[in-house]
Amino acid sequence: MIALLTGKIAHKSPEFIILDVNGVGYRVQIPFSTYYELPEEGIAVSLNIYTHVKEDAISLYGFRTAAEKIFFQLLISVSGIGPKVGKDILSNCQVEDLSGAILRGDLSRLCAIPGIGKKTAERLVLELKEKVQKLDSYTPSQKEGRSSLSSGILDDVASALVNLGYKEVVVRKALADMEISADASMELVLKQALKSLMR
């Protein structure tokens, strides 16, 4: 499973980009929120990747922030919401706004998102409210407050734990709750994370 891609933007559009990773072009679908934050073509960029596997296709979805990717995974866990709809929701509503609407049970705000009717909005609140509350301590500002070194290590550790079979949402929550010093090694962070997850 591809969890992160770093490469040069070979093509850029609001729907998808082609990321040139050492001569291999990956077609990555993106929400508008990610598109607006991308640099120009030819510039290197890193994207958090969700790999969606179907019988007849493998699709990659890319996000500038880990929070966006986590929310995308929460959205597609809701019955009736697939990757395309999940991407469209994030294209029309920022993570913080969406999180607040779900926590408040604000159906009118959710119904204002194109493609979301009253029944889908009710399902979003019913199925995600508790999960969003658990993720509440993991916010973009907290992530940005950590050093670039520990952020890179966090991504590597998260990828390793996902490959071991842990769900990414659970992994990210565990890592967000940990106190990690800027000079911590990947091995140390991995050991701490495994201890936390095995409790």
Secondary structure, 3-state, 87-133: HHHHHHCCHHHHHHHHHHCCHHHHHCCCCCCHHHHHHHHHHHHHHHH
Q: Are residues 107 and 72 in the same domain?
A: yes
Q: Are residues 20 and 31 in the same domain?
A: yes
Q: Tell me which of 35 and 146 has the higher pLDDT.
A: 35
Kind of pairing between the strands at 24-29 and 58-63: parallel
- Answer with the one of 135, 151, 179 that is the final residue of a domain: 135
Q: Are residues 153 and 127 in the same domain?
A: no
Assess whether pLDDT exceeds 50 at residue 149. no
The number of CA neighbours under 13 Å toward the Cβ of 69 is 26
Count how many domains the chain has.
Answer: 3
Assess whether pLDDT exceeds 80 at residue 57. yes
Per-residue pLDDT reduced to its tens digit, 66-98: 888 988 999 999 988 999 999 999 988 888 888
Q: What's the confidence (pLDDT) of residue 152? A: 63
The CATH code of the domain that includes 114 is 1.10.150.20
Q: Tell me which of 134 and 116 has the higher pLDDT.
A: 116
Question: To the nearest whole number, what is the mean pLDDT of the chain?
Answer: 83
Collect all residues with Cβ–Cβ distance below 8 Å to 66 and sequence separation of at least 6: 48, 143, 155, 158, 172
Q: Model's pTM, two decimal places?
A: 0.66
Residue with tokens 């996902």: 162
Residue with tokens 């706004």: 97
The CATH code of the domain that includes 12 is 2.40.50.140
Q: Tell me which of 190 and 138 has the higher pLDDT.
A: 190
- Answer with the one of 37, 63, 89 that is the final residue of a domain: 63
Per-residue pLDDT reduced to its tens digit, 38-49: 999 999 999 999
- Answer with the one of 135, 154, 175 that is the final residue of a domain: 135
Q: Are residues 147 and 188 in the same domain?
A: yes
Residue type, 161: L
Range of the domain at 97: 66-135
Q: Are residues 31 and 74 in the same domain?
A: no
Q: Are residues 96 and 131 in the same domain?
A: yes
Q: What's the confidence (pLDDT) of residue 135? A: 73
Assess whether pLDDT exceeds 70 at residue 182. no
Q: Are residues 43 and 14 in the same domain?
A: yes
